Structure 1
Amino acid sequence: MSGEPELVFPADDGLFEETFSAENTYRVSGQEITIRQHYCANLGVSASVWDSALHLCQFLEEESLDLSRKRIIELGGGTGLVGIVTARLGANVTITDVPSALSQIERNVECNAPVSGWPSEAPAVLPLAWGRDHASFSSSWDFVLGADIVYVPESFPLLLDTLAHLCKDGAVVFLASPMRREHGAHHFYHSLLPQKFTVELVRRDPESNISVYKATLR
């Protein structure tokens, strides 16, 4: 299977036929974050702050995880919300996505720099094509995060290989997803991910149909 991101995540020409931008402020995990979203066919689903990102941030807040100096990598960062929040909480963060999404993430990182400076350092923003170039990334992470990245079944083997590499040194994975059967989410979490990981459902919101899963490499 090809690891080319444009083949795995094809553009949806009808998703955003008109190009426009919107700016929204979110208060999550005790942080006030302003996110600029640029809606266009080139960005597609990467343009939006999806509810799963907010649920993942809420979960991290509820768990009172100490993120200070923790090494975090976010997959499919989109707007960068999750990575920005965790960096403002003191983590050393790398936000990754396909190349077309990186400029949006970089702008949002810049716009959300704390006045007093980042507690640790500004998030790094890097391209990562699942299943193709993950080997160029370290396996020394504390947490691997992803929000609404489980929706293209063709990408699932690539995502699984990438997660396995990133978690070789013991990283804990937290993934938040809408549990849409038509997108294969149940199959990924209940059949594919358990092939290599111990998987636990740690948060479930029936109203939004969003679940957060914790996974550790076997």
Structure 2
Amino acid sequence: EDLFCYPPNNLCLLEKLMGEELRIKQLFGANLGVAAPVWEAALHLCRYFEDQSVELRGRRVIELGAGTGVVGILAARLGAEMTITDLPLALPQLRANVSANVPPAGWPSAPPAVLPLCWGEDHLAFPSDWDLVLCADIVYLPETYPLLVETLAHLCKNGAVVYLSSKMRREHRTQSFYKEHLQSRFDVELVLRDDKQNNNIYRASKRAEE
């Protein structure tokens, strides 16, 4: 793992994950706020997939609130049919990182699609036939929690499994999202707890509608 700066205000993170070396730009000078950095929760999720040998090749996968796109780019390099989403202002950074990480032999499946998705507003424009939905450190604004659950419920109508990696911040009431909001419509399982980093990884599946 190596960090270096080029040009000023732009950090490029080199990470080797699941045998793939990724070069991820973090545009701190671009008014991206929380979308600029690679958050530790994203790296936790990538390492969890490696440790658990989660099969990504050939699976239809969507990532929400992707930020730098490290999780989705890794999944695409491992053969997932990947759609990477975030708010419109984050898309230039996402597209730049996708372009910077094309495998030498090309994408195993197809180049990742990079699309805008505002939770609770335009989620219905997306299909519901995903295999996996990935979320890394996107649970930090309580006012968005109902919108996130609504979006997840739509994306998971046909049985997609959700993996969520979160830093458990008390000031953001992260625990309440999982215990109250998400559990209202999903079966939620804590699959990994890192006490040192205060990071949880959850697996969730939508309950059948009554």
Cα deviation, residue 41, structure 1: 5.8
**Taking structure 2 as the reference length, what is the TM-score of the superposition?**
0.94
Tell whether 2:165 aligns with 1:176: yes
Task: State whether structure 2 residue 104 is matched by structure 1 residue 119.
Answer: no
| TM superposition shift of 1:40 | 2.8
Shift of 1:130: 0.1
1:167 corresponds to: 156
Match of 1:63 among 47, 52, 59: 52
Alignment length, in residue pairs? 200
Q: Distance in 2 between matches of 1:39 and 1:134?
A: 28
Residue by residue, what CA displacement relative to the aligned partner does 1:69-116 show, whole Å, maximum 9, x if unpaired? 100000000001000000000000000000000000000000000010
Q: Does 1:143 align with 2:137?
A: no
Instruction: Please give the secondary structure, in 1, of the residue aligned with 2:187.
Output: strand
Unaligned 5+ runs, structure 1 = 1-18
- Report the Cα distance in structure 2 between the residues aligned to 1:217 and 1:62, rounded to whole angstroms: 25
Corresponding residue of 2:4: none
1:9 is matched with none
Cα separation, 2, equivalents of 1:89 and 1:146: 18
Structure 1 residue 22 displacement after superposition = 0.9
- What SS does the aligned partner of 1:115 have? coil
Q: What is the alpha-carbon distance in structure 2 between the residues aligned to residue 206 and residue 66 of structure 1?
A: 26
One-letter identity of the residue aligned with 1:132: E
Cα-Cα RMSD: 0.9
Q: Secondary structure at the match of 1:25?
A: strand
Secondary structure of the equivalent of 2:182?
helix
Q: In the aligned structure 1, how far is the partner of 2:9 from the partner of 2:139?
A: 26
Counterpart for residue 155 of structure 1? 144
Query: Aligned partners of 2:30, 2:109: CA distance in 1, in Å?
Result: 35
Give SS of 1:169's match: coil
Give the ranges of 4+ consecutive aligned residues of structure 1 lying more than 4 Å apart after TM superposition.
none
Deviates more, 1:91-100 or 1:21-30: 21-30
Matched to 1:97, the amino acid is D
Deviation per CA, 1:130-159: give whole Å up to 9, x if none. 000000000000000010000000000000
Q: CA deviation at 1:62?
A: 1.1
| Matched residue, 2:43 | 54
5+ long unaligned stretches in structure 2: 1-7
Matched, 1:72 2:91: no
